[in-house]
Structure 1
Amino acid sequence: MKRNLILRYIGPLLIISFIFFSCKSKNNNYIVYYNRVNEIDSIYRIANQPEEAIKQYRKLFKKYSPRNQDRIEEYETYIKLADQYQKDFGGKKGLYKLIPLIAPYEGSEKSYFGLFQKYGIDSTEVRQRIADWKKGLNKRLVDSFSIAFIRDQAEGRRNPQLMKKNDRINAQLLKWTFENYGYPSIQKIGLIGNDGVFMPMHPLFSHMIESKEYPFFKMKMFEYVKSGECIPRDYANMVDRHDLQIKKEEMPYGSYPSYRSVIDTVKVNRIRKNIGLPALRRSSKAKNKL
């Protein structure tokens, strides 16, 4: 009876705790994550403290599902460093988390076979997991965006009338996707579409700067940056191009290639931090090899 009484009071507390931590995990702000990654990356590359970087990455990945951003490649860096310094990164479990992060980049898994094999994962299993990942992509979106990217580059965008027409159609597709499926992230549609169509999102969004839907895209993409679905660079690229070419103002993030130089680097870096971008002095540096 005493045991039942204890369960009667503890049970609801456990449920409340589970809901609290589930909501906390779900509502994590990835801008905080990206800024923390930038700080840890500095610990490793600038301060040359790899073991401290491993420790800090481990803490970060306990709170956030890892991303593996281009150039920094934080999760890959963490695993390679941990392996190099014989620190625990979760072994097989940690490597299984890496597979979907590298899966969009066809053939990239080959360079990891040695590491996978070291922890008991053979190449057949890696390839099977990548195949399973591909099966899990949203087929409807893959089909739609494969067509959209072909349409986006029709006639090399040299026909203004056709270009504007196609941009309007793609804007409608993007808005429909946002409203029905959320952000068309690399984990939803991959990077290579039907018939080998290359599908990086940043050029598609940079062509939305004249669309009447631009304010909607800007608002929603910022939300997706916070949720970890849209990478900060894609959002910044679109906003910078819009402000530079449409508003005729300085780029807030300094990310869009332009002949116009950024005047106030301190100000720009502060704004970049607001969406999780690294400071300009580091963002353009080539990634060190482990």
Structure 2
Amino acid sequence: MIYLFTCLYLCSCKNRNYITYYNKVNEIDSIYRMKNDTLIAIKKFKRVFRNFEPRNDERMEEYENYIKFSDKYNKNFGGKKSLYKLIPLVAPYWKFKREDTDFFKLYKKYGIDSITVERKVVEWKNSLNKQLIDSFKIAFIRDQAKDSITGQQSLKNFRKNAALLKWTLTNYGYPSMQKIGLETDDGVFMPMLIYLNHMAQIEDYEYFKTKLLNYVKSGDLPPRDYVEMVERHVQVNHLKPVYGVKSTDEEIIKDSVNINYNRKLIGLQSLKVRRKITKEFLKNNSKKK
């Protein structure tokens, strides 16, 4: 019976629209970031994570913050089980995260030593799809290659990479960081945001615009990466801004209502809130250096 309920829960989580998740997380983020009401935020976070498998936005760090806040106020967040669940979410950034001494202190408090954390990161790394990593490593190197005559990146290479992405979507689904990581063992940086940016410049753009939206909804593709592709297409073709990611301040002021409406439809915060988050993120990172 327990097994049946577990299966039903996992299936229901998979079928949920993560745009709803992102919008709920955005609202909660504002509760503690803007209103400083951490206890209410903890309650709301807990409700969200009961219904959705957590994500951990690079700048909002919603699941990690939920755990930290809960620990600070002696609220139950799930203990070791939740801490172990967090590790794969931060593992793509492990080169930087492992320098966070407070992170290890939190784990130690709940009986998980640094050796165990490191082992879990290795297990995560070993779980990645080696075939896809090798394929996308080549694709990212090709993506950055410049034409010997024009000195520009090659549309021909972008088209080759589009073919790889199509094949991957058909055979493996979206190549998220939980499938290919963020950086190879030999240092090839593989941010899909940049990869998708270049899909906006070729004939397959409309296909990807439609197809990839499904992966935003499934929680495999962060809204920010999808929006980057759409806005790059807008920029290249001199169209009206949709999400305002690459817009000038003047363009945003003219159409801020529509831009913020579109951003919510895809699961992004308003431009004003996102700028505040980015400012705090950069400030905190500069302190760590």
Q: 1:90, CA displacement in angstroms?
A: 1.0
In structure 1, the residue matched to 2:19 is: 31
1:34-58 alpha-carbon deviations (Å, 9 max, x no partner): 0000000011111110011011101
Counterpart pick for 1:126 among 117, 121, 137: 117
Distance (Å, rounded) in 2 between the aligned partners of 1:173 and 1:157: 24
**Aligned positions of 1:78-117 closer than 5 A:** 78-107=66-95, 108-111=97-100, 112-117=103-108
Count of paired positions: 275
| 1:252 pairs with 2:242 | yes
What letter corresponds to residue 265 of structure 1 in structure 2?
A: S
**Is the counterpart of residue 54 in structure 1 residue 45 in structure 2?**
no
Counterpart of 1:185 in structure 2: which amino acid?
Answer: S
Larger radius of gyration: 1
Equivalent residue in structure 2 for 1:221, among 182, 196, 212: 212
Identity of aligned residues (%): 50
Amino acid at match of 2:25: V
2:184 maps to which of 184, 193, 200? 193
Deviation at 1:214, TM superposition (A): 1.1
Equivalent runs, 1:1-290 vs 2, <5 Å: 21-107=9-95, 108-111=97-100, 112-155=103-146, 159=150, 163-246=154-237, 248-256=238-246, 261-262=251-252, 263-285=254-276, 286-287=279-280
- The question of whether the paired residues in 2 share the 8 Å contact of 1:167 and 1:207 is answered with yes
Separation of aligned partners in 1, 2:113 and 2:22: 32
Q: Which residue does the alignment assign to 2:287?
A: none
Displacement after TM superposition at 1:194 (Å): 4.2
CA RMSD of aligned residues (A): 2.2
Quick check: 1:241–1:251 contact (8 Å CA) kept in 2? no
Letter in 2 for 1:266: V
- Residues 257, 102 of structure 1: CA spacing in aligned structure 2 closer, same or farther, 3 A cutoff? farther
Q: How far 1:266 moved relative to its partner?
A: 1.1
> Offset at 1:85?
1.1
| Distance in 1 separating the partners of 2:6 and 2:187 | 43
Cα displacement string for residues 243-285 of structure 1 (whole angstroms, at most 9, x for unaligned residues): 2212x21220011365863221111111100010000111111
Instruction: Give the TM-score of the pair, scaled to structure 1.
Output: 0.89
Report the alpha carbon displacement of residue 84 of structure 1 after superposing the two structures with TM.
1.1
Amino acid at match of 2:87: I
What SS does the aligned partner of 1:130 have?
helix
Q: Tell me how far 1:23 sits from its aligned partner.
A: 3.6
For the Cα contact (< 8 Å) 1:253–1:269, is it kept in 2? yes
Q: Supply the distance in 2 between the matched residues of 1:89 and 1:41 (Cα, whole angstroms).
A: 17
Q: Deviations over 1:149-203 (max 9, x none)?
A: 1111113898467612211111111111111111000100000124111111111
Is this contact kept in 1: 2:146–2:152, CA < 8 A? Answer: no
Per-residue deviation, residues 84-113 of structure 1 (Å, max 9, x unmatched): 111111111110011001111123134211
Cα distance in 1 between the residues matched to 2:148 and 2:32: 42
> 5+ residue gaps in structure 2?
285-289
Measured against aligned partners, the alpha-carbon deviations of 1:47-91 in whole angstroms (never above 9, x if no partner) come to 110011011101111111100002111011111111111111111
In structure 2, how many angstroms separate the alpha carbons of the residues matched to 1:157 and 1:240?
28
SS in 1 for 2:98: helix
Deviates more, 1:62-71 or 1:100-109: 100-109
Q: Which runs of 5+ in 1 are unaligned?
A: 1-10
TM-score by length of 2: 0.89
